[in-house]
Amino acid sequence: MVPRLLTIGFLALAICGNAQSQSNRTDNYERLLHSPSLAEQRKALTAILQDPRVYIPLIQRSLRDYPKLLEKDWTAANRAVYLAALVRDRSFPPILAGTLGNKEVVERCEYGCSVELALTIHACFAGWTPPSNLDSGLTTVLDLREAIRHVPGIVLQVGTIDDVAQGPAVELQKQEIEGKTEEQLIQLAGPDTSSYETRVFAAYRLETLVTTSKNRIDFYLLAMNDIQDDASGEYRNAIYETIYRAELANAAAKSR
Three-class SS of residue 144? helix
Give the pLDDT confidence score for residue 169 in this predicted structure: 78
State mean pLDDT over 75-84.
97
Per-residue confidence band for 251, with pLDDT thresholds at 50, 70 and 90: very high
CA 63, distance to chain mean position in Å, is 13
pTM, rounded to two decimals: 0.90
Q: Which residue has the higher pLDDT, 8 or 180?
A: 180
Q: Which residue has the higher pLDDT, 21 or 49?
A: 49
What would the pLDDT profile of 18-42 be if each residue is shown by its tens digit?
A: 555 667 888 999 999 999 999 999 9
How many C-beta neighbours within 10 Å does residue 246 have?
24
Give the pLDDT confidence score for residue 52 in this predicted structure: 96
Q: Which residues contact 232 (CB under 8 A, 6 or more apart)?
A: 111
Give the pLDDT confidence score for residue 24 in this predicted structure: 81
Q: Which residue has the higher pLDDT, 229 or 85?
A: 85
In order, the DSSP letters of 34-62 are H---HHHHHHHHHHHHHSGGGGHHHHHHH
Give the pLDDT confidence score for residue 194 in this predicted structure: 93
The pLDDT of residue 208 is above 70: yes
Best CA proximity match to 161, nearest among 198, 203, 132, 133: 203
CA distance 137 to 116: 15
DSSP state of 65: T
Is 214:182 a contact under the CB 8 Å cutoff?
yes
State mean pLDDT over 110-126.
95
The pLDDT of residue 88 is above 90: yes
Per-residue confidence band for 165, with pLDDT thresholds at 50, 70 and 90: confident
State mean pLDDT over 117-132.
97
CA dihedral 87, 142, 203, 118 (to 10 degrees): 0
Q: Which residues contact 136 (CB under 8 A, 6 or more apart)?
A: 142
CA distance 126 to 147: 15
Q: Which residue has the higher pLDDT, 219 or 23?
A: 219
State mean pLDDT over 223-250.
93
**Rg for the chain, CA atoms, rounded:** 20
Q: What are phi and psi of 194, to 5 degrees?
A: -80, -25
Is 70:114 a contact under the CB 8 Å cutoff?
no
What would the pLDDT profile of 181-197 be if each residue is shown by its tens digit?
A: 999 999 999 999 999 99
